[in-house]
Structure 1
């Protein structure tokens, strides 16, 4: 990929001095930065780009749409985009909630700009490694337009919900998704369903994969947390 397709960082921060300071340090480390200071402008801006940013530095408290809501929406719509949340709220509940809604890391204010650059570099390194791993040794492919999943060229005959479930996990191999996160991806209307509903869909998805690959377990349970897609090495 060219530099225009990599090293792109969107800074979502309503304090201009902080945004400019962070941008200066990132640009000094060869990142391309963009700045938005209002939560309502973030999703429309990403939608209009030929390439979404690789990383979003996302303040928790914003005018308009708040950072937690944006984190959830970005993760649903652009699973490859990494997210680091910036927050002055240091309570443990807020930290855990930020990660639960899709953030890859968080930084508490006040922070050193050098720390932001180091965290950005680390998060993007993990994100790029995951994308490389997503080119599977296991020949599993998705046709997003036709909503078809093929294993060794055979159609898994997935329902729309099962396809979306597999698609979300395949886009972030190795990442553990909670049942709540998977529900948000499967049901965009945020209908109320139980966690057991997710378990049921995962069970059916696994069964269809096992019909073709009986010896492979690529959808794995993480006890007490949720599920992850793990291509075999």
Structure 2
């Protein structure tokens, strides 16, 4: 079995979450470990030491809390753990703030889904040792 990218999705819209999980698992090596809807759920899950992860995909606006609040708490992650923002509310200011907080990539939900899939595929290639 090829390596899988252990992924956590933090997205409060159930339809978006289901579509995202389906697309990423079908098109890339991503295996979604858990999909969460609030900042608190994500904090609790990520805070448990027995939950290893490789990729965290976060929406900025959540039912409770915010993706940005979660990103700010992730400064102490392992170098191989990637944090990606996927939101409808992406602009130059958001991209700049995410970069300041160490986010690895930012994608706009309405226009950059293909770019997100490409990014995930590149992460899978790196995981497989292709160095892409």
TM-score by length of 2: 0.79
Aligned residue for 2:103?
Answer: 103
Aligned residue for 2:38?
Answer: 38
Asked if 1:15 corresponds to 2:13, the answer is: yes
* Contact 1:22/1:116 (8 A) holds in 2: no
Aligned residue for 1:26?
Answer: 24
Q: Give the superposition deviation at 1:20.
A: 0.8
Distance 1:100 1:127, change over 3 A: farther
Distance 1:23 1:117, change over 3 A: same
Q: Give the superposition deviation at 1:112.
A: 5.7
TM-score by length of 1: 0.48
Which whole-Å CA distance do the structure 1 matches of 2:119 and 2:103 have between them? 13
Bigger fraction of residues in helix = 1
| Larger CA Rg, structure 1 vs 2 | 1
- State the aligned residue count: 127
Q: For residues 102-133 of structure 1, what are the alpha-carbon distances to aligned partners after superposition, in whole Å with 9 as ceiling and x for unaligned?
A: 1100001214644322112234656888xx9x
Aligned residue for 1:64?
Answer: 64
**For the aligned residues, what is the CA RMSD?**
2.6
Q: Give the superposition deviation at 1:15.
A: 0.9
Relative contact order, higher structure (CA 8 A, sep 6+):
2
Aligned residue for 1:81?
Answer: 81
Aligned residue for 1:94?
Answer: 94
Which whole-Å CA distance do the structure 1 matches of 2:108 and 2:15 have between them? 16
Aligned residue for 1:226?
Answer: none
Gaps of 5+ in 2: none
